[in-house]
Amino acid sequence: MTLHPNAIDLFDPQVQQDPYEAYRVLRDEAPVWKMPGTGWYVVTRHADVAEVVRKPDVYSMRVGAKLDNPYQRDPAVYRIFKEEGWVNPGSLSTDPPVHARYRSLVDVSFTAKRVRAMESEIEKLCHALVDRFTANGEEHVELIRHLAVPLPMQVIAERLGLPLDDLPRLKAWSDAWVEPFAMNLGPERRREVARANVALQHYLVEKLEEKRRHPGQDILSDLVAARFDGQRPLDTRELLSIAEQVLVGGNETTTNAIASGVKLLIEHPDQEAALRADPSLLPNFVEEVLRLESPTQGLFRVAAKDAVLHDVAIPEGSLVHLRFGAANRDPRQFRDPDRLDLHRTNARTHLAFSQGAHVCLGAPLARQEMQIAFRVLLERLEALRFSEGANDFRYAPGFTLRALEALHLDFRSRR
Ligand code: HEM
């Protein structure tokens, strides 16, 4: 029986575990769907999502206070930021022309050239992590904790110029930072999360001060030295807004992408064999992972004026939700979209990193980390399989991120 769009509930944790049938119905039956109980317009077709992200004059990034996320709406949360920390001005969540002025200050740190220069360090780190879990002849690992979390976390902490001893608390703060995106927090947890965010802010303010006194070759030092429009330094709120987004963006989603990729590999032994035989297919595998299991399933824009999308009138001020995870399985864009296809010629047109002015800053780095992780795992481990009875393949319940909670694997070590 086919689902009716109005029977779909994207807040339902069961739908969040496996949202793809719901996405299919929405794409086919209601591609611009006024989501019951919210007033949001949910966009699920590839061409429509691509159109929205490319029209910032119509679909603005200044979602801010419009977002009826209980976290953003909670006055207690606002008070905590106002009185104990800093209210985030969303410096990168701005529209042209202001956005480009902020963005240019961080783009320099993530050019293809800069990212290529990090390759051997990332590879070394990846080998070191595998060494650790294969020491003493171990042939079992929970991969998220032992590789998918520490790899991107350590890479981004080093790029920011943060000490590796701080990784555990940086990870805890980062996890708290993304929690509100799940849109399912109760009042008490909302306050705890806000306090964790404020603790991260105080930590970063201290580090930024250190960089001011002793600059290094890192992003925090670059931000302290940056001049907005070539003139004024960034103030504390701007510095924090950008640094927090780079820190969190730099680890959470890449962790999820690596975990999803390894799961897909094991589920497709023929494709795993093809990758082992021809590692030049790895870049396209990375794109297919991002397409099939988009770590960021959806994000918002707000209509800056009355708009019409797919014959649906969207009044000014409405929230428009872009469902990247649905667009990336749209058969109008990808033939046989649910299939992992290492030879798909347009895999890279997926929207997992969005497009347009706000296209993910860290996309080149994330792609590189994923490629290296998959290559090293294939080199170092064989007979990769799910540990029997140990996995429930549960994704953390949430509206925005697709995050596998654990991945227990057995393998034979190759050296
Ligand atoms: C697989 C990993 C990743 C995925 C799926 C991902 C996804 C995204 C998406 C969907 C956006 C939003 C674009 C929009 O609203 O149109 C974004 C923006 C952003 N990402 Fe990523 N990201 C990943 C990795 C990273 C990494 C490694 C970094 C840090 C180096 C990073 C930093 C950022 C920043 C700072 C933005 C805001 C850009 C702007 O608004 O100008 N991301 N990312």
**2-14 confidence digits (pLDDT tens):** 678 989 999 999 9
Question: 200-232: per-residue pLDDT in tens?
Answer: 999 999 999 999 999 999 999 999 999 999 999
* pLDDT value of residue 2: 67
Nearest protein CA to atom 30 of ligand 1, as residue: 362
pTM score of the predicted model: 0.97
Task: Please report, as a single letter, which amino acid is at residue 407.
Answer: L
| DSSP character string of 213-273 | HS--SSHHHHHHH-EETTTEEP-HHHHHHHHHHHHHHTTHHHHHHHHHHHHHHHH-HHHHH
CATH class, 5-413 region? mainly alpha
Mean pLDDT, rounded, of the chain = 96
User: With a 6 A CB cut-off, is 245 part of the ligand 1 pocket?
Assistant: yes
User: What's the CA-to-centroid distance between 363 and ligand 1, angstroms?
Assistant: 7
Angle at 299 between CA 316 and CA 364, to 5 degrees: 130
Question: 42-90: per-residue pLDDT in tens?
Answer: 999 999 999 999 999 999 999 976 777 888 889 999 999 999 999 999 9
Q: In what order do the strands lie in the sheet with 41-43?
A: 32-34, 41-43, 319-322, 299-303, 59-60
Kindly list the domain boundaries of the chain, sorted by start residue: 5-413
Dist CA 360 CA 348 (whole Å): 14
User: With a 6 A CB cut-off, is 362 part of the ligand 1 pocket?
Assistant: yes
User: With a 6 A CB cut-off, is 257 part of the ligand 1 pocket?
Assistant: yes
User: What's the CA-to-centroid distance between 225 and ligand 1, angstroms?
Assistant: 23
**Contact criterion met (CB below 8 Å) for 110 and 364:** yes
Nearest protein CA to atom 25 of ligand 1, as residue: 362
User: What's the CA-to-centroid distance between 353 and ligand 1, angstroms?
Assistant: 6
Question: 112-167: per-residue pLDDT in tens?
Answer: 898 999 999 999 999 999 999 999 898 999 999 999 999 999 999 999 999 999 99
User: With a 6 A CB cut-off, is 77 part of the ligand 1 pocket?
Assistant: no
pLDDT (mean) for 8-37: 97
Nearest protein CA to atom 39 of ligand 1, as residue: 358
User: With a 6 A CB cut-off, is 211 part of the ligand 1 pocket?
Assistant: no
